Amino acid sequence: MGSEGDEGAIGAQQELFLLFSVLSWAMELYFDLRQHKKLCQKKLPQELQGIVTEEEFLKANEYSRDKISFEMMSSGVNITATIFFYLMGGLLWMWEVSLILIKPLGFSEQNEIWQSVSFCIVLYAKSIIESAPLDLYQTFVIEERHGFNKQTLSLWFMDQVKTFFLVVVLLFPAVAGGIHIIIWGGKDFWFYIWSFCLVLVLVFQTIYPQVIQPLFNTFTPLKDGSLKSAIEDLARAHNFPLKKLFVVDGSTRSSHSNAYFYGFGNNKRVVLFDTLNLSLLGKEEKNGQDETGKSKESKSSGCKIEEIVAILGHELGHWAKAHIYKQLFVAELHLLIFFYMFGYMLHNQGPCLLCAATDLTASPQEMYAAFGFQSKRPVIIGLILFSNMGFLLLLLLLLSCSRLHSVNPVEHFVQFFQQFVTRMFEFEADRFAVEQGHGKELAAALVKISTENKSNLDPDPLWSAYNNSHPSLVERLRAMTAHASVLEARQKKSN
């Protein structure tokens, strides 16, 4: 039996864990409420006057308002479910269920790797049960209401089946390999597991567009014509190693549009969503219906050839500035630090921040015990607890010189930083397109895509900094105009 002091430390850790989770949710709710208030404005921003109609602006705000209201409701349901899950000993119960599932296969609790894989199956089943109703509502009510959903219920169901298959085939073996490395690697496992994850990322980046994505969408070579010729001319002008041009049938699921390229080294492939221009890239609509038979609202004809070329000029900016490799470096550095800190906690090499903050003598063992794991310290449970402590810990970190035992609050700042870096890259790619003479066409394309997608045209700055990987239309147009003016001034000065 433990002492009353031990029980107090254990109870305090669970209470703080839940408190941090609630405060983390409250911070995001605050951002969402700011954004909801911003979306209630009816005045068209000055930068959009003469570019976007008031009706388009109000429709975009209505769509975003519906989405964020649903997200706030969903997050409220999720945090409530999370609190009850932990208070009712959900982690321990799921761990015990995972053991029951593998016993008929001849495994015991000594086989932590197989029990961890079984635990992931149970956890995945739980996530499906929780998320499926919300996803169905968002797809078939909100997206349908605003004219974006093109999926049928059977297509949605098949997507879930395919996703489950991929998780079983790809994710679970990766989990087993990762757990094995952590157990085998001892105190230095953090470097080995990071190296393993780096290899997985590179492999996934290679097989996803060529093996996984074709399971969900159809990719067809772009037909010969003026658009293909214009894109190939753009690639040649910048020595872009373009190998293939594809059109993806995005219109089978949604009328949202996009374009991107993928591939490492000299094997680049460009993908255009058919929704960029259905007459150029997709199947023609007949009698007011799309190819799935769903009725469709009349929309503009989409982007012109020069506007699609300008969009790809922006994408070439990402390639020219090596943004993919820079983002990979930032992500892998983040992952390396995460695993190092987790190893520090797992092997109990120093005091716990929670202990310093609460004047308790708690330990990692007591963090496990707070959630019912008295004698066992499963690696996967430690990962869950380590990565899910909430926002208050960040405040404690700022006031304490103690060693860190949980990182999720820092993750909020990491998210701000990652979004900042991504947005900076978007601005840089826009400037590249402007410098190549595609500024006006890119601006026109962004306006079309943003209005047809009913994008959030003028979001709350704080909400956008935390949630948006791309700057808003207002921000991008303003930055492009300013850069064009700088280039014009330089040209006049040089003449």
Binding residues: 314, 318, 426
**What average pLDDT score do residues 15-27 get?**
81
Q: Which of 56, 411, 430, 441 is catalytic?
A: 430
Q: Which of 363, 351, 377, 404 is nearest to 182 (CA)?
A: 377
Average pLDDT, the chain: 81
Distances (CA, A) of 454 to 62, 446, 477, 489: 9, 12, 16, 35
Q: Helices 408-435 and 305-320: crossing angle, nearest 10°? A: 120
Say yes or no to pLDDT of 14 above 80.
no
**Is 6 annotated in the active site?**
no
Calculate the CA 196 to chain-centre distance.
Answer: 21
**Is 458 annotated in the active site?**
no
Q: Token pair for residue 101?
A: 């599932």
Residue with tokens 């952590």: 182
Binding residues for Zn(2+): 314, 318, 426
Q: Which residues pair with 244 in a beta bridge?
A: 269
Per the CB < 8 A criterion, the answer to whether 455 and 473 are in contact is yes
Calculate the CA 297 to chain-centre distance.
Answer: 30
| Stretch (H or E) spanning 430 | helix 408-435
pLDDT digits (tens, 9 = 90+) for 435-487: 999 999 999 999 988 888 888 888 999 999 888 888 988 899 999 999 989 88
What contacts 24+ positions apart, CB below 8 Å, involve 393-396? 393/20, 393/353, 393/354, 396/353, 396/354, 396/356, 396/357
CB count within 10 Å of CB 413 equals 11
Residue with tokens 């990322």: 201
- Give me the count of residues in the chain: 495
DSSP class per residue in 281-314 = HSPPPBTTB-TTS-B---------HHHHHHHHHH
Burial class (CB in 10 A: 0-12, 13-18, 19+), 411: buried
Q: Which position has the higher pLDDT, 229 or 411? A: 229
pLDDT band of residue 413 (cuts 50, 70, 90) is low
List the domain boundaries for the chain: 12-161, 219-282
Say yes or no to pLDDT of 49 above 70.
yes
pLDDT band of residue 410 (cuts 50, 70, 90) is low
Q: Token pair for residue 427?
A: 């601005």
Q: Which of 71, 143, 274, 315 is catalytic?
A: 315
Residue with tokens 């550095």: 333
Whether this model's pTM surpasses 0.85: no
Burial class (CB in 10 A: 0-12, 13-18, 19+), 154: exposed
Residue 9 CA to residue 352 CA, distance in Å, equals 12
Residue 242 CA to residue 270 CA, distance in Å, equals 7
- Given CA atoms 229, 234, 236, 237 in this order, what sign does their dihedral have? positive
Region for residue 362 given its phi and psi (left: phi exceeds 0; alpha: psi -120 to 50; beta: otherwise): beta
pLDDT digits (tens, 9 = 90+) for 336-382: 888 888 887 777 644 444 443 433 334 667 778 878 888 788 888 88
Residue 458 CA to residue 100 CA, distance in Å, equals 52
Q: Token pair for residue 21?
A: 């989770």
Most confidently modeled range among 355-364, 367-376, 386-395, 408-417:
367-376
Distances (CA, A) of 402 to 179, 358, 405, 490: 28, 12, 9, 52
What is the 3-state secondary structure of 461-495? HHHHHHHCCCCCHHHHHHHHHHHHHHHHHHHHHHC
Say yes or no to pLDDT of 112 above 60.
yes
Domain boundaries 219-282, CATH class = alpha beta
pLDDT digits (tens, 9 = 90+) for 262-298: 877 777 888 888 888 766 665 544 444 444 444 343 3
Q: Which position has the higher pLDDT, 399 or 410? A: 410
What is the 3-state secondary structure of 314-362? HHHHHHHCCHHHHHHHHHHHHHHHHHHHHHHHHCCCCCCHHHHHHCCCC
